[in-house]
Chains A and B, each alone.
Chain A
């Protein structure tokens, strides 16, 4: 069984239907992320938004980018955001006021940026804008990444390492110096053997 050439009853190409579906899902879920009252639900809508964007990447003929989108955004960043949400919410539940008092200025600015970019996009004659899309093979990407872009790749890897170390350092619980050092001194005198300094410090409040 094969699909008909165009969408039944509508006469559109399948690509147009998929584009409309993914575009609507992208904008709708993006709006839900921004205006949602419950921050957990905002995070879950954000996952849906990333999924719709992965569908658009497939539609654009970039399956590797779509796979990376699913792995990195849906798999890693969303989980990170949800964990941070759960670590930072107070017990009183969602706050009454979601937006700032000056939110109308932000809305004006966002509207201005959107209209400006849309007008510029519509008014520019893009070169080769109507050519047929050709999917980029993964092999070519690998050659490009590990031959022409080796230096940016290494820089990005160093950046990721620095981000990991920085994240651990920032989120680490700091010990107050005057509370921990003073009880730790007699503990070390009593036990001169390899005293687990970390353990004794954790026992003292």
Chain B
């Protein structure tokens, strides 16, 4: 079970689906950002699994996973700063109350 690529990829797919649901369904903007982090982690898990099971990709997969982590850190920084800036204006973290441009 732990020795097959398929089990890791299916686990990664399930985690990605969980993250997708959280991103689409949660009302809190920070919970949506957490769900994005879950999706990025799922992708990272599949990249590392490919690197572990296909010898030609061994080093490259690790490098790409590290790059994904760095980009995720940058994304979290900017995303949370945007959420805090919006919260300062509208006093709520719930995305369905951000309706100023609709009025």
Which A residues are within 8 Å of any B CB, using their own CB?
Answer: 13, 15-16, 18-20, 23, 26-27, 30-31, 33-34, 39, 42-43, 46, 49-50, 53, 56-57, 59-62, 64-65, 68-69, 72-73, 76-77, 80-81, 84-85, 87-90, 95, 97-100, 103, 105-107, 109-111, 113-114, 117-118, 121-122, 126-131, 133-134, 136, 140-141, 144-145, 149, 152, 156, 159-160, 162-164, 166-171, 173
Contact = CB atoms under 8 A, between A and B. Distances in A.
Contacts of B28: 39, 95, 98
Contact of A50 (B22, B27, B41, B71): B41
B74 to A, nearest CB: 4
28 contacts: A26-B15, A27-B11, A27-B14, A33-B31, A33-B35, A60-B51, A62-B48, A77-B73, A88-B29, A88-B93, A90-B91, A95-B27, A98-B27, A111-B21, A113-B13, A113-B17, A113-B20, A114-B13, A122-B10, A126-B54, A136-B58, A141-B59, A144-B63, A156-B71, A159-B70, A159-B74, A160-B70, A163-B74
Interface string B59-90: 11011011101111111111011111101100
B39 to A, nearest CB: 10
A99 B26 contact: yes
Nearest to A160: B74
Given A39-B30, A129-B4, A110 B76 contact: no
B28 to A, nearest CB: 6
A98 to B, nearest CB: 7
A130 to B, nearest CB: 7
Given A50-B41, A103-B25, A129-B6, A61 B34 contact: no
Interface of B: 1-11, 13-31, 33-35, 37-38, 41, 44-45, 48-49, 51-55, 58-60, 62-63, 65-67, 69-78, 80-85, 87-88, 91-94, 96
Given A34-B18, A167-B78, A130 B4 contact: yes
Query: Interface majority SS on A: helix, strand, loop or mixed?
Result: helix
Contacts of B8: 56, 60
A65 B85 CA distance: 33
Nearest to B82: A170
Contacts of B29: 88
A45 to B, nearest CB: 9
